[in-house]
């Protein structure tokens, strides 16, 4: 209680109001998400999640700044440590995810696929991301965006898919990178990673909706994405 009193309320006016605003933003976005998440549009959903996660994040930072005012003890130490860990995990996830994803994988090099990737990136008018082919019998492909954007594809997929199909897979992954949505999601995922995944915010449904949107985009161009999905 002493901590709440000191850090949240008994501050200079600007910080106190900022704290009230943040608490209100956390409460309102949480309530809206709990009660309406099935009824609201995708855009609103993403916006509310962004508001919720960033206000929790900011609230911890103002708490940290304002905690200097009272003699610390356990509370002070605890929230300094928590804030530090959250920042470290957030930064690690935001910056280093592609490097973390590579741990334990064996790299495989294929010049032909690298060439296809730069051709497709040029067609979309975006900078070609890194390509990391890895040895794994399972068929998988995904893209990770951080300091360096990287597309990961397993050798299982390369062996089972023809050139044309690999090209569609590459296009799909590149479309992820091209969408602004993906950057917003990357930020949210990193904040959630910062909280060790403990925040009860579901981001998976956003992923599913994005997958469907990209597939539709490819199908409009006459590409047979269904056939590829069925082989996965």
- Least distance to Zn ion from the beta carbon of 126, Å? 16
Pair of tokens at residue 170: 């590459």
Contact call for residues 29 and 199 (beta carbons, < 8 A): no
Interacting positions 10-29 with Zn ion (CB under 5 A):
none
215 touches 230 (CB < 8 A): no
Cα end-to-end distance, the chain, whole Å:
54
d(C-alpha 168, C-alpha 171), whole Å: 5
For Zn ion, which is the closer residue by CB, 5 or 216? 216
182: nearest Cα among 206, 216, 153, 148: 206
Interface with Zn ion by CB under 5 A: which range of 25-33, 54-62, 94-102, 211-219? 211-219
Secondary structure (3-state) at 118: helix
At closest approach, how far in Å is the CB of 143 from Zn ion?
7
Nearest distance from C-beta of residue 115 to Zn ion, angstroms? 22
Q: Which residue is closest to Zn ion by CB?
A: 211
Residue 119 CB, nearest approach to Zn ion (Å): 20
- The stretch among 11-19, 180-188, 206-214, 218-226 that binds Zn ion (CB under 5 A) is 206-214
Residues near Zn ion (CB under 5 A) are 211
């Amino acid at each position: 209680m002493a901590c709440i009193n000191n850090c949240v309320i008994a501050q200079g006016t600007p910080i106190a109001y900022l704290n009230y605003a943040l608490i209100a933003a956390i409460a309102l976005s949480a309530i809206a998400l709990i009660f309406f998440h099935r009824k609201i549009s995708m855009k609103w959903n993403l916006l509310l999640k962004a508001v919720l996660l960033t206000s929790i994040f900011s609230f911890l930072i103002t708490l940290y700044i304002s905690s200097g005012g009272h003699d610390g003890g356990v509370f002070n130490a605890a929230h300094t440590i928590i804030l530090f860990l959250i920042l470290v995990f957030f930064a690690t996830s935001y910056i280093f995810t592609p490097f973390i994803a590579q741990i334990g994988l064996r790299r495989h090099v294929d010049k032909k696929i690298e060439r296809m990737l730069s051709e497709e990136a040029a067609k979309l008018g975006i900078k070609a991301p890194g390509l990391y082919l890895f040895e794994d019998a399972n068929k998988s492909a995904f893209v990770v965006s951080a300091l360096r954007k990287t597309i990961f594809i397993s050798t299982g997929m390369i062996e089972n898919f023809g050139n044309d199909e690999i090209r569609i897979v590459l296009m799909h992954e590149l479309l992820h990178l091209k969408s602004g949505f993906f950057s917003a999601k990357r930020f949210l995922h990193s904040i959630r990673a910062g909280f060790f995944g403990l925040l009860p915010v579901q981001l998976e449904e956003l992923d599913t909706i994005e997958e469907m949107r990209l597939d539709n985009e490819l199908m409009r161009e006459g590409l047979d994405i269904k056939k590829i999905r069925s082989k996965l």
